[in-house]
Amino acid sequence: MLDSNHMDVKMQTETTTKISAKDVQVHYGDTHAIKDVNVEIEDKAVTAFIGPSGCGKSTFLRCINRMNDTIDICRVSGDILIDGEDIYDRRVDPVQLRAKVGMVFQKPNPFPKSIYDNVAYGPRIHGLSNSKAEMDEIVERALRRGAIWDEVKDRLDAPGTGLSGGQQQRLCIARAVATEPQVLLMDEPCSALDPIATAQVEELIHDLSKNYCVVIVTHSMQQAARVSQKTAFFHLGNLVEFGDTDKIFTNPEDPRTESYISGRIG
């Protein structure tokens, strides 16, 4: 029989698959951008997508909340399951899906609204609160999760666009978590930020992964190594290698991964 210490160790090492992709292909017209990708992405962990420019990282990321649906010439096939449910099923409403699978973009993109309204926007359209007091709580909780509450609590009516770049990105993260998503997709979230703002957002990503499944596209291998537990290396639309970040960066199996991390391709 296991004693309580053993149980703790067992619980800490147990992992759950949140996202499961099977035979995923993506075409933009005649361009075959994603080729037969199969991967299982863990819950409550950070997974980094790395690879040379144009290899398909963002395309694959956008499959996970059906953002590619908004591109006319884009066709996605195969299966993507979240918690075992096919997100491309006809009955799934992409707007509802995007509340469950939040996204943060490369360039901070707050709405031209107050800080408060930026965060309240999603909860309002999804009917998540019945009163002003409840909405105040949702907004405060989200801003705290975005690690920006202390900096903005006295100026919630000020425009979100008036914040610094790093603050805007944390506001966008707060906006993404306000609808209580389960998955957070981040497409190069630090590429427009200075080193200090980058360090703050990376720390936030680390904290968020305690509660969410986080998937981040990054061009920075140092960033992938710092923030992620799992790494997927893409090349020419193929998922070449996927595994523990430590292993990918120190002892990759595939010569293409080795070439990329040593700076020979990319």
Ligand X SMILES: Nc1ncnc2c1ncn2[C@@H]1O[C@H](COP(=O)(O)OP(=O)(O)OP(=O)(O)O)[C@@H](O)[C@H]1O
Shortest Å, Cβ 65 to ligand X: 14
Query: Which CB, 116 or 233, lies closer to ligand X?
Result: 233
CA distance 158 to 106: 23
Q: Among the candidate windows 48-56, 76-84, 145-153, 195-203, which touches ligand X by CB under 6 A? A: 48-56
The reply on whether position 131 binds ligand X by CB under 6 A is no
Q: Would you say 237 and 256 are in contact if contact means Cβ atoms under 8 Å apart?
A: no
Residue pointed to by tokens 């933009």: 28
The reply on whether position 55 binds ligand X by CB under 6 A is yes
The reply on whether position 53 binds ligand X by CB under 6 A is yes
Shortest Å, Cβ 265 to ligand X: 13
Query: Which CB, 92 or 236, lies closer to ligand X?
Result: 236
CA distance 180 to 177: 5
The reply on whether position 56 binds ligand X by CB under 6 A is yes
Shortest Å, Cβ 28 to ligand X: 4
Residue 219 CB burial class (10 angstroms; 0-12, 13-18, ≥19): middle
The reply on whether position 28 binds ligand X by CB under 6 A is yes
Q: Of residues 18, 19, 48, 57, which one binds ligand X by CB under 6 A?
A: 57
Bridge partners (DSSP) listed for residue 20:
40, 81
Query: Which CB, 59 or 200, lies closer to ligand X?
Result: 59
**3-state SS of 238-252?**
EEEEEEEHHHHHHCC
Q: Of residues 19, 46, 59, 118, which one binds ligand X by CB under 6 A?
A: 59
CA distance 228 to 215: 9
Pick the closest to residue 25 from 60, 53, 57 (CA basis): 60
CA distance 205 to 146: 9
Query: Which CB, 74 or 152, lies closer to ligand X?
Result: 74
Binding site for ligand X (CB under 6 A): 28, 31, 33, 51, 53-59, 71
